[in-house]
Amino acid sequence: MPKELRLCDQGAPEGLDIVVREASQSAMEAHSHGFYELVYVKSGFCLHETEKKTELLLEGDCFLMRPGEWHRYIGSYTAEIYNCLFSAEALNALSGGAIVALPGLTGITPYLKLHLDINEQKRELRILKSILYEQQHRELGWESKIKSQLTNLLVDYARAYARVTQPGDGHSAYTTYVARALTMIAERYREPGLTVAAIAGEVGVTPDYLSRQFRLLCGIGAQEYIRRFRFSKAAELLVGGIGVYDSCRAVGFANISHFSREFKKELGVAPTQYAKINM
């Protein structure tokens, strides 16, 4: 069973029910919380596993874990993240409890990793840094300021969640060429010949244009995303007990020596060692 963590286990002072922390996140055992945890990835990348899926976290990604939901981080690579931790009592007290009804905040709506656009990323970072400042300096009215900023943070999260889950919203980054490219990568990463040029041709834009839009929305180039996506899937297979050779072929590599060398370059350890550490 996953270990259950309390707010004070996460470095929060006893009695403080809204906390923001900066952290270097690498491998962490499966756990659940008795509180809410909103995570924003500031830089780097890592693998994240929930009850439903294992996925790649990149700079600009954001997700919310609700009380009782378990998750864990896998692998030796490190992502720099912000954690915003808050109790159910703190959430229910915001805006007289009305905020709980917003999309993505309750267990009625499914867990979903969001990738924020550039403006959303800037706004989220600004809010998180503001909460952290108030928490550290505790100037006059700091508790009220933190509650106000948490309200802003959750409203922004709910808006991003709604844009992804509610059809017909033309403002969603997920309805652009990049969204189609992301879908293609997820469906065809096993193909050795999958390239940015091939993807761009199928979505109807030039490789240069796709690469610019990809970097704008995802923070890294399309080719680097394909590479990281493949290694994240390979890592998932290795942790699941699939051998190195089969994992290599399953993610589009024809040469096991090349795969092992590049895997170690990306994740810091050889595939066999990675499997032993994380199984």
Angle at 229 between CA 32 and CA 125, to 5 degrees: 60
- At the second CATH level, the architecture of 176-278 is Orthogonal Bundle (1.10)
CATH match of 3-165 with 2.60.120.280 = yes
C-alpha to C-alpha distance for 190 and 258, rounded to whole angstroms:
16
Grouping H, G, I as helix, E, B as strand and the rest as coil, residue 236 is helix
C-alpha to C-alpha distance for 206 and 199, rounded to whole angstroms:
9
Residue 148 neighbours by CB distance under 10 Å: 16
**pLDDT (tens digit, 9 = 90+) per residue, 88-138?**
899 988 877 788 888 888 767 788 888 887 788 889 999 999 999 999 999
Extract the tokens encoding 239.
């942790």
- In this prediction, the residues of the chain whose per-residue pLDDT falls under 70 are 1-16, 75-77, 107, 166-176, 217, 219, 278-279
Q: Specify the domain boundaries for CATH 1.10.10.60 within the chain.
A: 176-278
The pTM of this model reads 0.69
Q: Specify the domain boundaries for CATH 2.60.120.280 within the chain.
A: 3-165
Chain centroid to CA 136: 26
pLDDT of residue 176: 64
Contact 154, 103 (CB under 8 A): no
pLDDT of residue 236: 80
Grouping H, G, I as helix, E, B as strand and the rest as coil, residue 114 is strand
C-alpha to C-alpha distance for 220 and 238, rounded to whole angstroms:
25
pLDDT of residue 171: 43
Helices marked H in the chain:
88-93, 118-137, 142-165, 177-188, 196-203, 207-218, 222-239, 244-250, 256-267, 271-278
**pLDDT (tens digit, 9 = 90+) per residue, 31-62?**
998 999 999 999 887 888 888 777 888 888 99
pLDDT of residue 169: 46
Please report, for residues 62, 100, 127, 157, 235, the alpha-carbon distance to residue 151 in angstroms, rounded to integers and kept in the order given.
16, 10, 10, 10, 37
Contacts with 245 (C-beta within 8 Å, 6 or more apart), sequence order: 256
pLDDT of residue 244: 93
Nearest to 151 by CA among 92, 65, 108, 83: 92
